[in-house]
Amino acid sequence: MREILGRRRRLRLWRKKGPAQPAQLEAALTCAAWRWPVIPGVGLPAAGAGNGRRCACPDPECVVPGAHPFDPSVLAATTDERMLRWWWTNRPNAPVVLATGGAAPCAVSLPAPAGARALAELDRMDMRLGPVVATPTRWALLVAPYTLEQLGELLFAKDCVPSSLRFHGEGGYVVLPPSETGTGQVRWERAPLPGSAAPWLPDVEAVVDALVEASTSAPDEGSRLAY
């Protein structure tokens, strides 16, 4: 059955039960139940600190402000509930960062304008998608785990792949809702269905095939995924 559009069911995933908890902790615990390893992101500078900087890390020119791991590193990502509670009790507003690869979901991301065009085209093609994360700058389509070898073979077989695509596999990460980063709020464009089971994820090959077709099926207009 085709996935229901995220805008019709957005944000119901993190509904609180029992005593109120920070939204980010609730999201991290939900990921742990799905066996998705997460870690707190570096987040935003404290109020009045950072001289206008958008990231709490030491790099004044950070290209993903607030939306990346710092201390601990992405290698520490876990599904252990006690660790997650300790992290987000100490930093309740820290972004929720998914460590991609291994047995965890991977992702394919595009710049936000290209991502919006891509989803519209994939809907027209009746392509079944899994969860889609939207930030003000990039949209990420979550996919089933893949290895670097599988990705390399997939891309080698293509005559052309949109240069706007970015792949998040082993050693990578994706920031998840309801995080706030230096570029703005992170949200679900297509939210996972509520429930105890881990969300369904498409194979990366099916997603890349569909994106390549969407990119090259725009006669006289160039690529729909150009950016």
Question: Coil, strand or helix: which one is 124?
Answer: helix
Share of the chain above pLDDT 70, in %: 82
pLDDT > 60? residue 224: no
Q: What is the DSSP letter of 120?
A: H
* 51/70 Cα distance (integer angstroms): 20
Contacts of 102 (CB under 8 A, 6+ apart): 37, 145, 170
Residue that the structure tokens 């390893």 belong to = 37
51-86 tens-digit pLDDT: 566 899 999 899 999 999 988 899 999 999 999 999
Q: What are 186's two structure tokens? A: 């992170």
pLDDT > 80? residue 216: no
pTM summary value: 0.84
State the virtual CA torsion across 23, 28, 33, 35 in degrees, nearest 10: 160
Over residues 19-48, mean pLDDT: 89
Determine the pLDDT at residue 10: 40
Determine the pLDDT at residue 202: 95
